[in-house]
Structure 1
Amino acid sequence: MTGAESVPPTSSPPGDLPTPDRADGRNATALAKAALTVMYRVDSTSDTGLRDAKLRAARYLTADYKAEVATEPVQYIPEEWRRHRAYIAVHLKPIQPEEGAPSDGATTAYRQWQLRTTPTGRDGWRGDPHNFVVYMELTRSSRHAPWRVSNVSAVNDN
């Protein structure tokens, strides 16, 4: 099996992860939020790293972007997180597009988010939060097709 064919992990971290039936594929913002929540909710008890969480979001991604994610290097979870059985608490806030950002079209949409990730132990431990600005591109094959994430770029904002 090649990386592009690998099956996403089946276990889900704690919390209210969006499910495909609750993520409205007709709404670019709702789909983007669901995808980011799943993509960054890493769980030290079931994941080897961020790529596992991103692959769990495969249902929200275009085929090309899913293949790209599948070839990303594994980013291993720190041992401290494992000791605390930590997962990443994800907090998202939409932000206005920067001046000069492209406008949405019938089959392409752009979203920007303030993302805060906080390692959170099941024993009450909390790691240092990390802040990012996330730029997303979403596409669909026609005006009536569901949106899918075609690109995500996260810039450290600490």
Structure 2
Amino acid sequence: MTLSRTRGTRDTTAVATAMLALVLAVGGCGSGSGGGQRAAPTPSAPAATGNGPYPTPSGPGEPPPLPTGSKGTPRGGTTRPGDVDQENADAVGRGALTVMWTFDTAIDSGPHDAGVRAADAGWLTPAYAKRLRTHRPRSVPGAQWREWAGHHASTIVTLEKAEDAAIPPDTGTEAWRQWAVNASPHGRDRWTGESTTVVAYVQLTRAAADQAWRVADVTVR
């Protein structure tokens, strides 16, 4: 698969995949993650359907074996929930997205490994973490990933808050956020590839108003 600039590719199955546009793997499964029952956002802020955080590849053939995960720490390290104010939904959402879009081809077999890394670091609800860990990518990494891997590239992730009046207001146990997520690949050989940006909608939940937020789902367009 190649790096696509098409937004909002959807998967009708339980989980979906890809990397801001570098297709592959880490989707979740919608809202079954705790928090109160609320009306879903309007189409300008799509509901957490489990179609993200990445668009799903549609290549032919049988699914590859279930990934085993990254074999190390990505260049720049992995931010953990304890590094931020966990009662701040913005801080938790930012931290989770940064980890989920930090790819390191020197240690990762594909983009799915970053989602597993976010789950293992503790950024996600148990239900969402389980879905990411057990998700089976529908395609092997494509030409774009192979190009990155040829340079032993990793991504530098930057986020810009993107406001949307259609997103529901926060409650004590549920919050919605959205960011423009930019990932720029940089090789260990000093190569720099073209960066890609998507808009990521994040659902965060917690058991009570004095508890830590966790990411319950991510949808990309």
TM band (smaller chain): 0.7 to 0.9
Cα displacement (A) at 1:23: 2.3
Q: Which residue, out of 61, 76, 80, partners 2:141?
A: 76
Cα distance per residue 1:114-142 (max 9 Å; x no partner): 11111111111111111100100000001
Question: Which residue of 1 is the match for residue 212 of structure 2?
Answer: 146
SS of the residue aligned with 1:149?
A: strand
- Whether the 8 Å contact between 2:81 and 2:92 is mirrored in structure 1 is no
Cα displacement (A) at 1:38: 0.6
Q: CA 1:9 to 1:82, structure 2 compared with 1: closer, same or farther past 3 Å?
A: closer
Structure 1: stretches of 5+ with no match in the other structure? 1-5
State the identity as a percent.
Answer: 35
Counterpart CA distance in 1 for 2:81 and 2:166 is: 32
* Partner AA of 2:118 in structure 1: A
SS of the residue aligned with 2:220?
A: strand
Q: Which residue, out of 145, 150, 156, partners 1:89?
A: 156
Counterpart CA distance in 1 for 2:71 and 2:92 is: 20
Question: Which residue of 1 is the match for residue 169 of structure 2?
Answer: 103
Which one is further off, 112-121 or 17-26?
17-26
Counterpart CA distance in 1 for 2:136 and 2:217 is: 17
TM-score, length-normalised on structure 2? Answer: 0.63
The question of 1:46 aligning with 2:107 is answered yes
Cα displacement (A) at 1:80: 1.4
Question: Which residue of 1 is the match for residue 98 of structure 2?
Answer: 37
Alignment length (residue pairs): 149
Relative to its length, the structure with more helix (as a share) is 1
SS of the residue aligned with 1:111?
A: strand
Cα distance per residue 1:67-113 (max 9 Å; x no partner): 221233335262211111101111111111x2322111100011110
Which one is further off, 75-84 or 25-34?
75-84
Question: Which residue of 1 is the match for residue 124 of structure 2?
Answer: 61
TM-score, length-normalised on structure 1? Answer: 0.86
SS of the residue aligned with 1:57?
A: helix
Give the superposed CA RMSD.
1.9
Q: CA 1:62 to 1:116, structure 2 compared with 1: closer, same or farther past 3 Å?
A: same
